[in-house]
Amino acid sequence: MAVVTASSGTDAPPAAAAAGRAGTLRRSVQRNLTAHGFLIGAVLCFACFQWYPMVREVIMSFQKAKAGRTTWVGLHNLDQIVHDPSFWPAWRNTAEFTGLALLFGFALPFVTAVVMNELRHARGYLRILVYLPVMLPPVSSLLLFKYLYNPEYGPIDRSLQLLHLPTSGWLQSPDMAMLAVVIASTWMNMGSATLIYLAALQNIPGELYEAAELDGAGLLRRVWHVTIPQTRLVLSLMLMLQIVATMQVFVEPFILTNGGQGVEGSTTTVVYLIYQYAFNFSNYGAACALGLLLLLVLAAFSVIYVRLNRRLES
Amino acid sequence: MSDTRTLVNPAQLNRTLYRAALILVVVAFTLAFLGPLYLLVTGGLKGTTESIQTPPTFYPHHIEASNYSDAWSRLNIAHLLLNTLWYAFGALAFQLVLDVAAAYSLSKLRPALGNAILGLMLATLMIPAMVLVVPQYLTVLDLPLIHQNLLNSPWAIWLPSVANAFNIYLLKRFFDSVPQELLDSAAIDGAGPLRTLLSIVLPMSRPIIGVVSIFALVNVWKDFLWPLLAEPDPTRQTLNAGIYSLSLGVPENVLIAASAISAVPTVIFFLIFQRSIMSGLTAGSLKG
């Protein structure tokens, strides 16, 4: 830098100025080479496993691959998936899972966090307990739930029988299968949301509760007028993240019910259908087209979320 | 934190009422979250007849520890465990080297087009992971330009794990807070960028390196679909995918024993690192 300022002076010989500029250029190129050298490994991985697959996803949804040859088929894939009899049920099941998972998975962690925040003892123990299932390998948890739900010897139905309560066969029953999947999923995943809400609750200034109390607000009104508004940002962000995450549900129905086989596909979700197209029928075009459709739906949710959030902000 | 005022006024709180509520909550949580784990461990200890008898037993009357050894050998758990460790620590090494270098470059070396590259990386966070599984799988089958098939090789787990925008974002945010004057004075002393990274930036970034490392290990450990697809050979799978693949024809109590065994390493890991795991969780998500 010093060279540049010196050479730009009027009495410096022009040759020295040119040499100075060339030196700066060389140093700038060198600096950039080093910087890109540090970056290149990660960029190559992104290119191979994120950016290129993204482009390919779009291209392949308009192609058919047969015997190693790909041909453009336009909207044929879309046409095919829309007319698949499993198409609408898969969306309905996904919506049902998302709805139920939000009902449990959104409300339960919040209530849990509020209760935990009130307690002055055992908080560390409770935090470990709620987060423990999050750390387990999902297949372990799901095989456990499959055993618990078993209609013949599973402890849940056995205990219900013992208490002379109606049993339901859970995963074998078309009406209960999705609820059973949601319960297992909530148990496995609610820990992280609980801890995030707990952290948000701990940042609420105590004076707000005091002021509300002085104004005569009862317990529920304090929740409604202090707790929820004060955690609104985290709540809305988590709601959005959970919608996007639950609409991609796959492992739970895959392990617990194989997509609800035998119970009329009552837990076949959209991602499960993508998996079937790609890995059971090797129909990559249809799988990608359905994936693109899911992407569009989720993108629409994100747009709505951003709009609503902006309105709430102003 | 514990003395700040919360929803209920502590002065008005009846002590016996509080005690009762505390006990109720502790019991309910223990039943809800440890109960299933208890059934997992004891279910694996029950013999075949006992696990299907009515009424169900709430503890195994005849302990059949052979289920556990049976599961260990039939599902080849030692092998699956070694695979998982190999994949998880390999992914950790790749992520630490390549993601730290990239974040350092974007934060401190500021290359041309750096912001555009960061933008493209962050954009991948918007794309739901499951949507890309199919083209990613095909990419692993035939890597662009060099036409390598990575199927059944650890690279198929290691390399995609590097393409993690969340890690790079967390690291970059942290590196941004390292004062530039420190780096300038190191440069005056003649330290190159690599030297500066290793002896100034990294020692200051221990907390975030810890968070990223834990996420890296946990992600490989918990992943199911990707290892199932990328490592179709059951002897090369992770615990998660392997137990599923090998579960056909295995009696339920042996399978439960296998699930219990595969949960042990993560539980131990969690109990050791729980403080950093839980603080990493909130640090990572609240700043988004």
Give the 3-state secondary structure of B193-251: HHHHHHHHHHHHCHHHHHHHHHHHHHHHHHCCHHHHHHCCCHHHCCHHHHHHHCCCCCC
- A132 vs B144, which has greater pLDDT? A132
Q: Which residue has the tokens 């087009």?
A: B113
Q: What is the CATH number of domain B77-241+263-281?
A: 1.10.3720.10
Number of domains chain A is built from: 2
Q: Which domain holds residue A34?
A: 2-67
Q: Would the CB atoms of B130 and A274 count as touching at under 8 Å? A: yes
Cα–Cα distance for residue pair A137/B255, rounded to 1 Å: 14
Q: How far is A19 from chain B (nearest CA, A)?
A: 23
Same domain, residue pair A170 and A48 = no
Q: How far is A60 from chain B (nearest CA, A)?
A: 8
Least Cα distance to A48 among B193, B6, B161, B246 occurs for B161
Element (H, E) at A66: strand A63-66
Structural domain contains residue A286 = no
pLDDT of B288 reads 35
Same domain, residue pair A255 and A218 = yes
Cα–Cα distance for residue pair B263/B240, rounded to 1 Å: 10
The beta-carbon neighbor of B111 closest among A35, A206, A234 is A35
Residue B276: pLDDT band (50, 70, 90) is confident
**Over the range B38-67, which residues count as b (16 or more CB within 10 Å of their CB) and which as e?**
ebbbbbbbbbeebbbeeebeeebeeebeeb
Same domain, residue pair A208 and A100 = yes
Same domain, residue pair A44 and A143 = no
Least Cα distance to A106 among A220, A227, A202, A194 occurs for A194
Phi, psi of B58 (to 5 degrees): -95, -5
Q: Tell me: the pLDDT tens digits for B37-87?
A: 998 888 888 877 777 676 667 777 777 788 898 889 888 899 999 999 999
Q: Would the CB atoms of A199 and B121 count as touching at under 8 Å? A: no
Same domain, residue pair A53 and A199 = no
pLDDT of A312 reads 74
Structural domain contains residue A277 = no
Could you give the angle at the alpha carbon of B230 between the alpha carbons of B226 and B232, nearest 5°?
115
Q: How far is B66 from chain A (nearest CA, A)?
A: 19
Same domain, residue pair A194 and A231 = yes
Q: Would the CB atoms of A48 and B143 count as touching at under 8 Å? A: yes
pLDDT of A209 reads 87
Residues of B in contact with A207 (CB under 8 A): 5
Instruction: Establish, for the pair of chains A and B, how many residue pairs have beta carbons separated by less than 8 Å.
Output: 293
Structural domain contains residue A296 = no
Same domain, residue pair A139 and A196 = yes
- pLDDT, mean of residues B172-198: 90
B122 touches chain A (CB under 8 A): no
Q: Would the CB atoms of A139 and B106 count as touching at under 8 Å? A: no
Q: Tell me: the pLDDT tens digits for B85-118?
A: 999 999 999 999 999 999 999 999 989 899 999 9
Cα–Cα distance for residue pair A37/A32, rounded to 1 Å: 8
Q: Tell me: the pLDDT tens digits for B13-37?
A: 778 888 888 999 999 999 999 999 9
Q: How far is B267 from chain A (nearest CA, A)?
A: 7
Same domain, residue pair A20 and A137 = no
Question: How far is C-alpha B51 from the chain's CA centre?
Answer: 32
Same domain, residue pair A228 and A134 = yes
Residues of A in contact with B225 (CB under 8 A): 250-251, 254, 275
Alpha helix stretches (DSSP H) within chain B: 15-29, 35-43, 48-51, 66-74, 77-94, 100-104, 114-123, 133-141, 155-162, 165-176, 180-188, 193-196, 202-204, 206-222, 225-230, 239-245, 252-286
Q: Would the CB atoms of A248 and B40 count as touching at under 8 Å? A: no
pTM exceeding 0.80: yes
3-state secondary structure labels for all residues of A225-267: HHHHHHCHHHHHHHHHHHHHHHCCCCHHHHHHHCCCCCCCCCC
Q: Would the CB atoms of A162 and B56 count as touching at under 8 Å? A: yes
Q: Tell me: the pLDDT tens digits for B59-68?
A: 777 777 888 9
pLDDT of B279 reads 80
Residue A70 DSSP SS3: strand
Length of chain B: 288
Same domain, residue pair A27 and A163 = no
Q: How far is A289 from chain B (nearest CA, A)?
A: 10
CA dihedral A145, A147, A149, A155 (to 10 degrees): -110
Burial of residue B209 (number of CB atoms within 10 Å: 0-12, 13-18, 19+): middle
Could you give the angle at the alpha carbon of A105 between the alpha carbons of A102 and A111, nearest 5°?
115
Residues of B in contact with A220 (CB under 8 A): none
Residues of B in contact with A127 (CB under 8 A): 278
Cα–Cα distance for residue pair A261/A263, rounded to 1 Å: 5
Same domain, residue pair A113 and A19 = no
- Report domain extents, chain B: 77-241+263-281
Same domain, residue pair A7 and A129 = no
The residue of chain A nearest to residue B136, with distances taken between CA atoms, is A53
pLDDT of A166 reads 78
Within the 176-235 window of chain B, which residues sit less than 8 Å (CB to CB) from chain A? 192-193, 218, 221-222, 224-225, 229
Contacts of A292 (CB under 8 A, 6+ apart): A57, A58, A61, B131
Low-confidence ranges of chain A (pLDDT < 70): 1-19, 67, 259-265
Cα–Cα distance for residue pair A151/A177, rounded to 1 Å: 12
Half-sphere exposure of A271 (CA within 13 A, CB side): 24
pLDDT of A5 reads 40
Interface with A, mutate which of B1, B6, B221, B237 (most A CBs under 10 A):
B6
Cα–Cα distance for residue pair B190/B200, rounded to 1 Å: 13
Confirm if B147 and B228 have CB atoms less than 8 A apart: no
Q: Would the CB atoms of B138 and A34 count as touching at under 8 Å? A: no
Q: Tell me: the pLDDT tens digits for B205-253?
A: 988 898 899 889 989 999 999 999 999 998 999 999 999 988 888 888 8
